[in-house]
Amino acid sequence: MEGPTLRPTDSVTRLRGVGPVLQGVLESCGVHTVGDLLLCVPYRWEDRSTAVSPADVLEPGRPVLVRGRITGLRLGRPRGRGRRVVTAVVADERGTLPAVWFNQPWVAKALRGRGPLFFFGKVERHSRTGRLQLVNPEIGADGEAGGGIVPVYRPMGRLGGRRLRGLVEQALGTLDELEDPVPEDALKGLGLPKLRSALERLHRPVTPADPVERAALLGALERRETPEQLRLAFDELLALALAVGSVRQKRRRQRAVCRVQRGVRGLDLPFELTEAQRRVVAEILGDLGGPHPMARLLQGDVGSGKTVVAALAALAVLEAGHTVAFMAPTELLAEQHVVSLGRLLRGTGFEPLLLTGSLGAAERRQVLELLSGGGPHLVVGTHALIQRAVQLEGLGLVVVDEQHRFGVAHRQALVAKGKAPHLLVMTATPIPRSLALVAYGDLELSVLDELPPGRRPVRTIVRRRSEAGRLWSFLAGEVAAGGRAYVVYPRIEASGELEVQSLEENAERLRASLAGPGVGVVHGRMGRAQREAAVAAFRSGEIGVLLSTTVVEVGVDVPEATVMVIESPERFGLSQLHQLRGRVGRGHRPSWCVLLVPDVLPAAAERRLAVFGSTNDGFRLAEADLELRGPGEIAGFRQWGADGLRFARLPWDHELLQKARQVAAMLARTGRLEEVLQRMAPHLAGGEVPGGG
Ligand code: ADP
Ligand code: MG
């Protein structure tokens, strides 16, 4: 009984077996239509061409196909726990192999019977007895052997891989109707297959009869090197490139609300700008004088002097009569910026306002009134700036500091408070070029590649916790000589984890052993007044040692500080450690970053920290972080509707990205960008084409 034909654009509910529950599961994974399901390609392929005897299974690890009869079938619930376990023994004339199924009591039925069966699954070693066993193997009737290369699907929530395979089989019936979203001329010369045949071959691989060829195909699939997989990766990167291009195009059609006509009045700065700062300021002023809103990323390592660049941009816009909103990720940083921007702008007649969640009600009302009354004002704040009650009349420039700590939605929300204001985002966490092209692809890039003169490279050393006593006397000496020291902890309170140091556990002990220099504390759960008092006392030298959480990671700028001690540093990412290290080495005295590690450290952590100690180059550390941890966490992908990439692998697929960018540019030139972008929406994991601006 066939219903009307299924089409790729149909809802998944038209698939046999998909009711409201499964629909919910599928949709929560971004699968709305039958076509979306086609894009859920297998994540593994298994060779089920030849079965082996149970006697030939000699090592754990790899999945195997075993043929044999079932003996000794048992259904149990071991040690009173809830998990129901089916155990059995697979046997033939040459030997036996135990098999076990967890939480699948129904397999017992499939196993009753006399004939030989096939079992496909992973071999593991029993944790207690050390014997090899098959764990949760798939069961096939005798006739189903020689299945060739079989696709394996990643389960989606409660939808298991095998049921998913069944649904995909149904969806494959619509393949002939699937439209290729990429026009034919755009694919020319790329050596990539049509989408239709790529999907067909990934879902239903053709198994070569020759075992050598078979192994080669499996290897290529595993390494994601087949033309079919490259086609999917290409589509994903093209969709991103088109989304980026679309935002750029839209911006170029907007007119900037504030056009800075005159150059900036010189600021009376306490130092000379570096060459790099001068160049970047010129780039920014060029944008601010142009007809379209600026959208620029300022990248510069910790301490390279981004704040003064932002201050000059802000001054230009203020003098042109427009308001500037400056957003920072923490209250502490916003508070510090009010102080330092206030100092830099002294004598200009502009004074920064602070807007954070910690303001008192009266103060807050006053600031909101000033801002809605029209400017020009410079307002510095946290997320509090994007609350609905905040009206930024005459907003001409948005500055986002430490961009990597914000979601892009935040910066868009702030931009949306104005009519096409300029945007300057700043970050000290460089991301490798290929990722930047995607994550920040809609932004122009300025780079501060020079540190202010007189900086001394910070020396990084690793010390065991058992040697900490000597370290504390060293701190006391540094402070006595006019320096300051930070001690940073991964958390405020003790947790169950023994190896992770906490601020509270250590504060008393340190107060006792550091009687001389005076010890202060700062963390995110303190009120604003307390926090400001602690930082001010540290700045003035009243307190010599500041114990803190990572709230000091960004923004605290005390040039006298010469020692940064990081407790349990193995808990932090390399870029984060680099930010922390950047808090010292800002003055003219030699500085140290001390990593205080547990006496026993896993080898991998040891290696990571060694990489950190070997370079002061934030760019290299970001790349190392990427290689060690993958790009999943890198901010900026979500903006393009992709929660990370499904098929492409950056930075490794850099060449493919270049091709995708070329094709995107060609489509833009020929006026087809938006049209193709709409068709490619399913290729962005979120399934939605991001909005502009
Ligand atoms: P970041 O790029 O990390 O935000 P900051 O803007 O906080 O760096 O600057 C770090 C320190 O360097 C500040 O104390 C600032 O006053 C100082 N600084 C910035 N530019 C210069 C310069 N050209 N010469 C000397 N010191 C500078
Ligand atoms: Mg900064």
Which ligand ends up closest to the CA of 273? 1
Which ligand ends up closest to the CA of 281? 1
- With bands split at pLDDT 50, 70 and 90, how would you rate the model's confidence at 1? very low
Quote the pLDDT of residue 688: 37
Query: Measured in angstroms, how far is the CA atom of residue 273 from the centroid of ligand 1?
Result: 9
Q: Assign domain 50-146 one CATH number from 1.10.510.10, 2.40.50.140, 3.50.50.60, 2.60.120.260.
A: 2.40.50.140
Which ligand ends up closest to the CA of 311? 1
Residue 272 alpha carbon, nearest atom of ligand 1: 23
Residue pointed to by tokens 């010369």: 189
Task: Tell me the whole-structure pTM to 2 decimals.
Answer: 0.72
- With bands split at pLDDT 50, 70 and 90, how would you rate the model's confidence at 692? very low
Q: Which of 336, 557, 560 has most ligand 1 atoms within 8 Å of CB, for mutation?
A: 557
Mean pLDDT of the region 244-256: 88
Q: Which of 277, 314, 276, 265 is nearest to 294 (CA)?
A: 314
Residue 482 to residue 42: CA distance in whole angstroms: 62
Quote the pLDDT of residue 434: 64
Pocket of ligand 1 (CB under 6 A): 271-274, 277, 300, 302-308, 428, 452, 557, 559, 586
For residue 270, say if its preceding peptide bond is cis, omega within 30 degrees of 0.
no
**Higher pLDDT, residue 522 or 643:** 522
Query: Measured in angstroms, how far is the CA atom of residue 298 from the centroid of ligand 1?
Result: 14
| pLDDT tens column, 136-158 | 998 876 555 557 888 989 888 88
Helices (H), 350-400: 361-372
Mean pLDDT of the region 240-248: 87
**Higher pLDDT, residue 406 or 7:** 7
| pLDDT tens column, 549-603 | 988 877 688 989 999 999 999 988 888 899 899 999 888 889 999 999 999 889 8
For 535-563, give one letter per residue: b (16+ CB within 10 A) or e: bebbbeeebbbbbbbbbbbbbbbbebbbb
CA 353 to chain CA centroid, Å, is 32
**Higher pLDDT, residue 103 or 372:** 372
Tell me which DSSP letter residue 636 carries.
Answer: T
Residue 503 confidence (pLDDT) above 90: no
With residue 109 as reference, give the H or E element that holds it. Answer: helix 107-111
Q: What are phi and psi of 149, to 5 degrees?
A: -80, 120
| pLDDT tens column, 337-363 | 999 999 999 999 999 999 999 899 999
**Higher pLDDT, residue 574 or 313:** 313
Fold of 252-452+644-693: Rossmann fold (3.40.50)
- Using CA positions, which residue lies closest to atom 27 of ligand 1? 452
Q: By the 8 A CB rule, do 610 and 482 touch? A: no
Mode of pairing for the β-strands spanning 422-427 and 295-300: parallel
Residue 401 alpha carbon, nearest atom of ligand 1: 4
**Higher pLDDT, residue 125 or 629:** 125
Q: Which of 268, 271, 556 has most ligand 1 atoms within 8 Å of CB, for mutation?
A: 271
Quote the pLDDT of residue 442: 80
| pLDDT tens column, 398-427 | 999 987 777 667 888 899 999 999 999 998
- Using CA positions, which residue lies closest to atom 20 of ligand 1? 305
Longest dimension (CA), the chain: 95
- Using CA positions, which residue lies closest to atom 19 of ligand 1? 305
| pLDDT tens column, 519-530 | 999 998 888 889
118 Ramachandran zone, left/alpha/beta (phi>0; psi -120 to 50): beta
Residue 274 alpha carbon, nearest atom of ligand 1: 23
Residue 317 to residue 324: CA distance in whole angstroms: 7
Quote the pLDDT of residue 144: 53
Answer whether 252-452+644-693 and 459-615 agree in fold: yes
With residue 247 as reference, give the H or E element that holds it. Answer: helix 227-253
Residue 302 alpha carbon, nearest atom of ligand 1: 3
Query: Measured in angstroms, how far is the CA atom of residue 309 from the centroid of ligand 1?
Result: 9
Residue 670 to residue 475: CA distance in whole angstroms: 65
Domain 459-615: assigned CATH number: 3.40.50.300
Q: Which of 304, 330, 336, 403 has most ligand 1 atoms within 8 Å of CB, for mutation?
A: 304
Query: Measured in angstroms, how far is the CA atom of residue 304 from the centroid of ligand 2?
Result: 8
Return the structure tokens found at 20.
Answer: 């409201």
Where along the chain do its domains lie?
50-146, 252-452+644-693, 459-615
What is the chain's mean pLDDT, rounded? 87
Residue pointed to by tokens 């489509």: 667
* CA-to-CA dists, residue 404 to 237, 408, 652, angstroms: 21, 9, 22
Q: Which of 280, 308, 425 has most ligand 1 atoms within 8 Å of CB, for mutation?
A: 308
Query: Measured in angstroms, how far is the CA atom of residue 347 from the centroid of ligand 1?
Result: 20
Output the 3-class SS for 459-505: EEEEEEHHHHHHHHHHHHHHHHCCCEEEEECCECCCCCCCCCCEHHH
- With bands split at pLDDT 50, 70 and 90, how would you rate the model's confidence at 654? confident
Which ligand ends up closest to the CA of 330? 2
Residue 308 alpha carbon, nearest atom of ligand 1: 6
Residue 689 confidence (pLDDT) above 70: no
Query: Measured in angstroms, how far is the CA atom of residue 308 from the centroid of ligand 2?
Result: 9
For 20-32, give one letter per residue: b (16+ CB within 10 A) or e: eebbebbeebbbb
Quote the pLDDT of residue 78: 64
Query: Measured in angstroms, how far is the CA atom of residue 476 from the centroid of ligand 2?
Result: 28
Residue 331 confidence (pLDDT) above 50: yes
Residue 635 confidence (pLDDT) above 50: no
447 Ramachandran zone, left/alpha/beta (phi>0; psi -120 to 50): beta
Residue 582 alpha carbon, nearest atom of ligand 1: 3
Query: Measured in angstroms, how far is the CA atom of residue 14 from the centroid of ligand 2?
Result: 54
